[in-house]
Amino acid sequence: NAGVMQNPRHLVRRRGQEARLRCSPMKGHSHVYWYRQLPEEGLKFMVYLQKENIIDESGMPKERFSAEFPKEGPSILRIQQVVRGDSAAYFCASSPGDQGQPQHFGDGTRLSIL
Amino acid sequence: DQQVKQNSPSLSVQEGRISILNCDYTNSMFDYFLWYKKYPAEGPTFLISISSIKDKNEDGRFTVFLNKSAKHLSLHIVPSQPGDSAVYFCAASLGSSNTGKLIFGQGTTLQVKP
């Protein structure tokens, strides 16, 4: 199954630590999106990347959050100095970028902050 | 500002009957709409989509209807099956190429009773 792969599936961090979430898109997909889902809410867009470029980061918090999609390797969502409010499910999606092709999602990373 | 709204948090339907899930939006610039299904601890799975230039799209048991004048779309599932029990999200995007971010509703939990 060459779907969108996210790891780790579960991540526990203490307040002030760093969290790194990884996402490998589906084969042939060059567009990556990150979304966050808080309890009892829908998914909220965070950032849209293509290889080595951030296309839209309008949903990213101004501080502590960053994302990259390097030429080689997975996309990384990095959260520095985590706080309790960062606890959420973080989903990655990918698409080939062709018109009419939907985004396909990974199973997410559940981030818990102690 | 919730641009995509699913006003029914939950829906219960008998097996074999029709399930109708509703979604309203406020931004008339949305031109592509999608429905995703989500099981607990998994990522959203794409179900069906519709372009704003159409008013209906059908795929097997799933049909999506779009009423642009009312800014309303609905997903019909017929006949409903117990395996359809899940959370259903509608989503909208700007840009006909669908390479941009998705804006999600809050989700509707569908329960199909045997």
∠ CA B76-B81-B86, nearest 5°, is: 75
pLDDT digits (tens, 9 = 90+) for A14-67: 999 999 999 999 998 989 999 999 987 889 999 999 988 999 999 999 999 999
Please state, in angstroms and rounded to a whole number, the distance separating the CA atoms of residues B55 and B69: 11
Please report which confidence band the pLDDT of residue B95 belongs to, taking 50, 70 and 90 as the band edges. Answer: low
CB atoms near residue A10 (< 10 Å)? 11
Spatial distance between the Cα atoms of B90 and B112, rounded to a whole number of angstroms: 19
How sure is the predictor about B22, in pLDDT bands with cuts at 50, 70 and 90? very high
Residue B8: both structure tokens together: 């029914």
- Rounded to an integer, the average pLDDT of A54-83 is 95
Residues from B in contact with A at Cβ < 8 Å? 4, 6, 32, 34, 36, 41-46, 49, 51, 89, 91, 96-107
For residue B91, the Cα-to-chain-centroid distance in whole angstroms is: 7
Q: Is any Cβ of chain B less than 8 angstroms from the Cβ of A94?
A: no
User: DSSP character for B3?
Assistant: S
In DSSP notation, B58-103 reads EETTEEEEEETTTTEEEEEESS--GGG-EEEEEEEEESTT--S-EE
High-pLDDT (> 90) share of chain A, %: 78
Nearest CA among A61, A56, A66, A8 for reference residue A32: A56
Which residue, chain included where needed, has tokens 């601890």? B41
Sign for the pseudo-dihedral over CA of B64, B47, A95, A100: negative
pLDDT in tens, B56-87: 999 999 999 999 999 999 999 999 999 999 99
Strands B108-113 and B10-14, by their bridges, are: parallel
Per-residue pLDDT, A110: 97
Q: Which of A45, A95, A31, A110 is nearest to B92 (CA)?
A: A45
Per-residue pLDDT tens digits for B2-15? 799 999 999 999 99
> Mean pLDDT of all residues in chain A?
93
With beta carbons under 8 A apart, name residues in chain A contacting B109.
Answer: none
Predicted pLDDT of residue B1? 67
Could you read off the pLDDT of B36-61 as tens digits, one per residue? 999 998 999 999 999 999 999 999 99
pLDDT of A99 > 90? The answer is no
Token pair belonging to A86: 């960062």
CA distance B29 to chain A (A): 16
What pLDDT, on a 0 to 100 scale, did the predictor assign at position A101? Answer: 78
